[in-house]
Structure 1
Amino acid sequence: MSILPGRDWWTGLPPAAGAAVMATGIISVGLYLTGYGAVSLVALVVAGVLWLVLAADFTSRLLGDRGRFRAEADTPGALTAVAATTIIGTRLAQQGWRTAAAVLLAVAALLWPGLLLNVVRHWRRRMPGAAFLGCVATQGLSVLAASLADAGHQDWLARAALVTFCLGLLCYVAALFRFDLREVVGGAGDHWVAGGALSISALAGSKLTASPVWTGSAHTALRTVTLALLAVSLVWYVVLLAAELRHPRPRYDIRRWATVFPLGMTATACLSVADPAGIAWLRPLGEVLLWIAVGAWLLTFAALVVSHLTAGRAAPGR
C-alpha cells in the first residue's frame, strides 16, 4: 500500500500508515533535543502534513464508510491515530505551542478509550508486534500530559500522566503474553514495537521523574522504573537488530514505518532520561541512535518511492 500521491490514494490508506507520522514526529522530537532546531521543524512540518491527511481519511471513513471504519477500528493499527496525535502534540509542546498541544491531548484522550477497548476485545493468541500499540498509545498520553504539566505547572495533569503511565505498563504486559515470538525473525516491521513500547514508557518515566511533583521515595521509584524500562528496551533493540541481520527482510512494507518509530523512540528516550536520571553517557548514546533512526527513515522513504514507481510501471494500461 503506497502513501504517495495517486488516484484516490488518501482514501486507501490502512491504519498502519499512522506509523509514518509517529516515526517522523519522534525523529523531530529527537532532533530538537540535540539542537538541530531547523531540521527538526522540517520533520515536524512533514509529520504535521501526514497527520492532517490521515485525520481527513479517518474522518471521511467515520462519516461516509462506517462499515470499513468499524472493521479497521478493531485492528491494533487503529491506535496509531492516538499515538501519532500525542507525538505531534509533544513536539508542539517543545516548541512552546501549548494551546495547540493541549488540543491534541484532548483529541487523543477522546479517541483512546473507545479504540483501545475495540482493539483489546479482538485480541487473539500469537499477535504481531502491533499488539504493543495499546501500550504506545497509552504512554503517548502520559508523555504529552507530563510535558504540558511541566510547562504549565499543572499538578493534576502530572498525576493523570502517572495514571496513564501505569496503565501503559499493564497494556505492555498483556500484549507480551500474546506476542508471537516468531515475529522476531519473520515479522514485516511492526515486531520492533515490542521494544519501542518500552522506549516510550521510559520517555514517559523520564518526564515524570523530572517533574517537581514527585519527591522522595516516589521520585526514587520512578527513576528506578524508568532506568529498568530503558535497559530492557535497549536489550530488545540489540535482539531485534541481530535478528534483522541474521534474517534480512529487504522488501518494502508499510509496516516498516513501525520499525523506524522504535529506532527514533529509543534514541529519544536515551536523550530524555540522561538528565533526570543523572547518567551523562546516555546522551551520546542517544545521539548515535538518533542518526541511525534518521538513516532508517531515509532508507524507508526511498524504498517507498521505489515500490510506488515499480507498482506504477507494472500496472495494466501503463
Structure 2
Amino acid sequence: MIWQRVPPESGAAVMGLGVMSVAGHLAGFPVLSAVLLAVAAGLWGVLGVAFLARLAFDNERWMSEAGRPGALTCVAGTGVLGLALVLHGWSTGWIFLVLTTLLWFGLMPLVLRGLATPTVGVSFLVCVGTQSLAVLAGQLAADTRSPFLLAVCATSAAVGLALYVLVLVRFDFRQLTRGAGDHWVAGGALAISTVAIAKLDSAVQELAAPGAFATAVRAIGIALWAITMCWYAVLAAAELLAPRLRYDFRRWATVFPLGMTCTASFGTAAASGMTWMADTARILLWPALAVLCLTAWGTIHNLARPKPGP
C-alpha cells in the first residue's frame, strides 16, 4: 500500500510549498503564488488520506510515528496552507484553524513526551507547529476583529517562543555543519515566530488595543526579525563552509525557513512601516525559489528512479 511508504515528515513539502506561495503573493507574483498553492493543496490532500489510512489500518505504527517531531509537519503544513488560502480570498480559514488546533492538541503531547536530548533541527517543529496556529489565528483575528482569536494568537505565540527556548538550550550546534537540511528549522522556527508577532500586531491595530501593548508587540517583532536575519546569515555561512550537495528529503526543511524568512521580512515591514525590510524580502525570495526548484527536482528524480528488486 502506498500510504504505508509515506513518512510522517512528508508534511515538510506542504510547509515549503505553502510558505513560498505566501511569499510569492506578498512579493506581487500572483500566478507563481497560485501555482504553488495548488500544488501544496493537492499534496496536502494526498498526505491527509495517507494519514487517515494509517490511523485506521495501522494504528500501532501511527502511534509510534506520532511521537516523532516530524509528525508536527502536518500541523505546520495545515496552518501555513490555511494562511495561503485566506490570503488568496478563500473562506476556509476557520476550517483550517480548527484542523490545525485539533492536530496540535493530538500530536504535541506525544512529541514533547518523547523529545530527545540533545535536540536537532527537526526538534524545533514543536515551535513551528505552535506558531503556525498563532499565524493563522492572527490573520483571522485581524480580518474579523475577533478578540477571542487575538487571545489565541497571543497565547500561541508566547507558548511557541517558550518551546523555541526549550529546544534551543538543548540544541546540538554541530548540526549547523552536519545537518542534512532540517538544521535550517533552527532559524525557520524563529522566522515563523516573527510572522506570528507581525500578525498579532495587525490584529492589535484592528482591535485598537492599548497603546503600550501595541508598542511592546511591535518592539518584540522587530527584535525577532533581527535575530532571524542573524540566524539566516549563520546558516548560510555554515552551508558555504560545509557544503552538503547530495539530495535529501530533509531539504524541504530548508525551503520552509528560506520562504518563512522572506515572509517574516514582508510582515515586519508592514507592521513597523520600515519599507526597506520589504526590499530585503524581495531579495530573499530568489534564493528561496532556487532552493525550492532544486529540492522539487531532486524529489521528482528520486521518486522516478527505479527501485531495486527484492
Normalising by the smaller structure, the TM-score range is over 0.9
Note if contact 1:267-1:290 (Cα within 8 Å) is conserved in structure 2: yes
1:315 and 2:308 equivalent?
A: yes
The percent identity for this pair of structures is 43
Per-residue deviation, 1:235: 0.7
Note if contact 1:146-1:158 (Cα within 8 Å) is conserved in structure 2: yes
Say which of 45, 55, 58 aligns to 1:65. Answer: 58
**1: CA distance between counterparts of 2:99 and 2:278?**
32
Note if contact 2:9-2:70 (Cα within 8 Å) is conserved in structure 1: yes
1:102 and 2:102 equivalent?
A: no
Say which of 170, 179, 184 aligns to 1:192. Answer: 184
Alignment of 1:236-275 (within 5 A): 236-275=231-270
Note if contact 1:10-1:53 (Cα within 8 Å) is conserved in structure 2: no
Q: Paired residue for 1:76? A: 69
Paired amino acid for 1:130: V
Per-residue deviation, 1:10: 4.1
Q: Could you say if the C-alpha distance between residues 133 and 184 of structure 1 is closer, same or farther in structure 2, counting changes exceeding 3 Å?
A: same
Question: Which deviations, in whole Å up to 9, do the C-alpha atoms of 1:232-259 show, x marking residues without a partner?
Answer: 1111111111111111111111111000
- Which consecutive segments of 4 or more residues in structure 1 shift more than 4 A? none
**2: CA distance between counterparts of 1:232 and 1:110?**
31
In structure 2, list runs of 5 or more residues that go unmatched. Answer: none
Paired amino acid for 2:225: L
Say which of 64, 80, 85 aligns to 2:78. Answer: 85
Say which of 141, 161, 164 aligns to 1:149. Answer: 141
TM-score by length of 2: 0.96
Paired amino acid for 2:62: F
**1: CA distance between counterparts of 2:4 and 2:285?**
32
**1: CA distance between counterparts of 2:122 and 2:168?**
11
Of 299-308 and 165-174, more deviation after overlay is shown by: 299-308
In structure 1, list runs of 5 or more residues that go unmatched. Answer: 1-7
Say which of 291, 296, 299 aligns to 2:286. Answer: 291
Note if contact 2:247-2:298 (Cα within 8 Å) is conserved in structure 1: yes
Q: Paired residue for 1:16? A: 9
TM-score by length of 1: 0.94
Q: Paired residue for 1:182? A: 174
Say which of 96, 103, 115 aligns to 1:111. Answer: 103
Paired amino acid for 1:175: V
Note if contact 2:127-2:163 (Cα within 8 Å) is conserved in structure 1: yes
1:37 and 2:30 equivalent?
A: yes
Note if contact 2:12-2:256 (Cα within 8 Å) is conserved in structure 1: yes
**2: CA distance between counterparts of 1:224 and 1:55?**
38
